[in-house]
Amino acid sequence: MVDIYINNRVQLDRFGLRVKDLSNRLTRLHRKQGDMDGACVVYCVIMALLCIGHVNGADIDVYPDVQRGRKGNKDRFLDHLLQEQGFVREGYYLSTMAKEIRMYFSDINVMYHRKKENFLDHIFAYIEDDCPVIVTVLNARMNHAIFVIGVEYNELDEVVKLFCLDPAEPLDNVSYWNCIIDTSKGIDNDSLCWYITNGIKSKVEIKEVLSLEECYSI
């Protein structure tokens, strides 16, 4: 017997997969990257910030409907990502992104670590706490970031699948995810897992995890 857990912040309705943004408005969660950029980390972080309600859907539109001259930490961070960084042709290190989020957002707890023992346990715990999770998957031909939205675990509470939003792939309006990471063989000690989309099935290694959590003032 297996069980599936999906981040409770998201909802699937007649408009597709949505979350409540900073203004408490429902907005589309999945964001698809272009054919000419290497900005998968940027897209995943935008989805994570939407998921925890730290940006508005309108903030990331091509022509954002925002008040000019308003420069809070959120606006400066978005300007840095979306204006200063350009196409991000060479990709973006997840470790660099973790440092930059910490620099701009004092009200977000950033959990970042590279591969270590009990890696899946950390991912499972973050997902159960409804924290957005980003992982990087790597093989000889790809180094890619994806957004983890849920997990499947067996009767021993072992994670056997990660359900993900892949910014490089389209998402149907009737689906929670567009990518699966099959971890049934484990991922510790350099063992490989399967990265699966509609068009790709490839063995990969999970190298990094980044998760975000709101810091509540007491």
The domains located in the chain, with CATH, are 3-214 (3.90.70.10)
Q: Please determine, for residue 119, whether its predicted confidence score (pLDDT) is greater than 70.
A: yes
pLDDT over 80 at 89, yes or no: no
pTM of the entire structure?
A: 0.90
Q: Give mean pLDDT, residues 15-40.
A: 90
Name the one residue in this structure whose structure tokens are 């973006």: 92
Confidence of residue 2 (pLDDT cuts 50, 70, 90): confident
- The reported pLDDT for the residue numbered 67 is 52
**Distance from C-alpha of 72 to C-alpha of 76, rounded to nearest angstrom:** 6
> Chain-wide mean pLDDT for the chain?
86
Q: What are the pLDDT digits (tens) for 146-196?
A: 999 999 988 888 889 999 999 999 999 999 999 999 988 766 556 688 999
Cα angle 134-136-141, degrees, rounded to a multiple of 5: 150
- The phi-psi region of residue 95 (left if phi > 0; otherwise alpha if psi is between -120 and 50; otherwise beta) is alpha
Which residues, including other chains, have CB under 8 Å from residue 129's CB and lie 6 or more apart?
213
The percentage of residues in the chain with a pLDDT greater than 70, rounded to a whole number, is: 84
Closest CA to 133 of 119, 123, 145: 123
In the chain, the percentage of residues whose pLDDT exceeds 90 is 56
Helix 40-51 to helix 94-104 angle (10° resolution) is 40
